[in-house]
Amino acid sequence: MLHNEYKLDVYSTIGRRPMQEDYYVAQPVNLGFLLGVCDGHGIGLVSGHVAARLPLYVDQGLSRELPIQKKADEAQFQAFREEMSDADMKAALEAHPGYAVARERQEDDEIFPVYDSVPATEDDIRGNYAYSRLGELRRERQDTDPLYEIHDALRDTVAQLIEDMRGKKEIGTTLSMAYIRVVDDKLHIHTAQLGDSMILIQPPDGELITTAAHNAATHEADRAEIQRRLEAIGESGDIPPDLNWGALSDSRVWAGVTMGSSRGLSVTRAIGDAMWDGLLIREPELADHIVPLDSLVVGVTDGVLVGDAAKGGKPEWIYREITQRLLAGETAQAIGQSLLEREGSGDNLTIVAYRQAEDDRPVDLEVDVWAAPNGDHYVLLADLPDEMRKGIEAITFFVPIIGIHGGDHVTHIAHVDGQARACRLKLALRYHDHPHKEDDP
């Protein structure tokens, strides 16, 4: 069953600091849902920019339309063009001396296509070769990482945001985001983490899952990497442009013109903060989780760490309290306001909670889902209503999954999910453990 509704519960304090530094994102993006929280430091300029651009960038990243992706793809395309040898070029020209170009011819009231043969050029051959090599490269990536398109989108979104904020030397932000998809009546959650804001995932009957807090006091792997970078800079003398002095203390990453004028960050990963370039880790930490459909997904900033949990160094106490209170039916506002009353509260505080809503509408359509030999599940387009089919065909341009069932046009479950949501239809899915055959009912 594909569920078409979700519930959001949000609380974010405003006005506790001179500038608003907490921002959140919660909206559908592409065929999934994007949830994110940002906690700015210095001022809120960087966190505000990140929150404003995040949905667009993730959407562009999933289609490889981000500026940095297009630049990288063009560089790879040109590299493949140049790697073709003279011998291969000669053989290709002999094997493919020309190609067909279509034009239109009109007779009476009808228009007919006419194909002219045009000699192939070296530029044509190199371009075709480069496109072929790009296809091979993507198939290799698919074999090693079936989720590479999502991982690339999240990773490249962060890289694009870092590029945008390259000139912000002493201000920055954390970013914790979750891209949520409904697949086979499960939540598939893909997280990307920089800094010490958090994504919390609470299955109804399971252990709390949290992203890693990139904190200079507690994240040992990041501390070791930053120490290695400091030592490498000292040995080589190759100092990054904006870094004049740097150090790592028990709880801070320090940078500045001199030791006396330096500033410390409590996070080991962030966007912005160009003065720390060469020390901070700029890559997001990615993770994937598959949990029951009625699981809770929550984004929080570190303003929730108050009272005994903050003093005792046990943030999971607060995280578990927040998720359990949400599951019990309390609102994010009630929880957030109660945290503000505890000792140690003074920071901005944000809680954003996502759950799939129960869909009690009657089923509009039953659809068969078939299993491909490679394990993928697919649906025959012919089994779908016209409105859904047209929407899917506009996305996929009639490209079938190769090698499933002859020339029949088929589509991934994700496309069916997206169009069901768009058409406001509730579907019941009948799963089969084999490919579709002509004699199947």
Mean pLDDT value across residues 279-295: 96
Indicate if the pLDDT at residue 352 is higher than 80.
yes
Q: What is the mean pLDDT of residues 148-168?
A: 95
Residue of 272, 271, 270, 287 lying closest to 179 (CA atoms): 287
Q: C-alpha distances in angstroms, 304 versus 6, 212, 316, 322?
A: 24, 16, 11, 9
% of the chain residues with pLDDT over 90: 47
> What pLDDT score was predicted for residue 420?
79
For 306, the 3-state DSSP assignment is coil
CA–CA gap between residue 337 and residue 11 (Å, rounded): 9
pLDDT of residue 374: 67
Cα–Cα nearest to 6, from 198, 209, 178: 178
Phi-psi region of 60 (alpha: psi -120 to 50; beta: other; left: phi over 0): alpha
pLDDT at 229 over 90: yes
Indicate whether 380 pLDDT > 90.
Answer: no
Q: In angstroms, rounded to a whole number, what is the distance separating the alpha carbons of residues 246 and 307?
A: 32
Q: How far apart are CA 333 and CA 352, in angstroms?
A: 10
Only one residue has tokens 């959140």, namely 24
Minimum mean pLDDT range among 107-111, 197-201, 359-363: 107-111
pLDDT (0 to 100) of residue 2: 39
Q: How confident is the model at residue 407 (pLDDT cuts 50, 70, 90)?
A: very low
Output the pLDDT for position 401: 43
How many C-beta atoms surround the C-beta of residue 437 within 10 A? 9
Gap between the Cα atoms of 411 and 389, Å rounded? 10
**Structural domains in the chain plus CATH codes:** 6-69+147-356 (3.60.40.10), 365-431 (no CATH)
